[in-house]
Amino acid sequence: MSTADRGTEFILRPLTAGQRWPRLGASQLSQISKPFFSSDQTSVAVTNTMTQTAPESLKYSVSRRELSVTFADSDPAQLGAELLRVLSPSAEVQGHGPGQETLQSGKSQVHVTDIQAVGHYAVQLTFDDGHSSGLYTWAYLAHLVANKDRLWNEYLEKLANAGASRDPHTDIVRVIS
């Protein structure tokens, strides 16, 4: 993937095979030049029974805190940094099985500070709150794109039921009479 610098944005696009994706930090996000799969890679295995085509491009806007994901034959879809953080596929967030999820609150202002390729099947996002353990496979990104509205509404409902807030500076107190 090559990048086209757009000020506070970067765009990942196919390059020639064999190029590496160097590690860059937050101060270099607008200068990123990272391939995440070779141009001859058209489909990657993500589980034993399913394959997901790699996205044609990933575009992260620092100013909007959004990752734009474009899969073949579809329009770009925007995934907010907060959504990506609170629905991280990490064990820290998802747990090790059903019912072990940890509700993430206070993440409304979270930023992505680094993006790393993981083989030919995923990217790893690092957030400014230090979270970096989730691997966003192409299949998981496709799932988020296809279900983002439902997943977001479910997240907001869980926050409300827990008396928690998206705002990192708000503590919600429930008065029980």
The residue ranges of every structural domain in the chain are 2-162
Round the average pLDDT of the chain to a whole number and report it: 76
The confidence score (pLDDT) of residue 97 equals 85
pLDDT in tens, 103-156: 999 999 999 999 998 988 999 999 999 999 999 999 999 999 999 999 999 999
The domain over range 2-162 is classified in CATH as 3.30.2020.30: yes
Q: 32: how many CB neighbours lie within 10 A of its CB? A: 20
pLDDT in tens, 99-112: 899 999 999 999 99
Query: 89 or 32: whose pLDDT is higher?
Result: 89
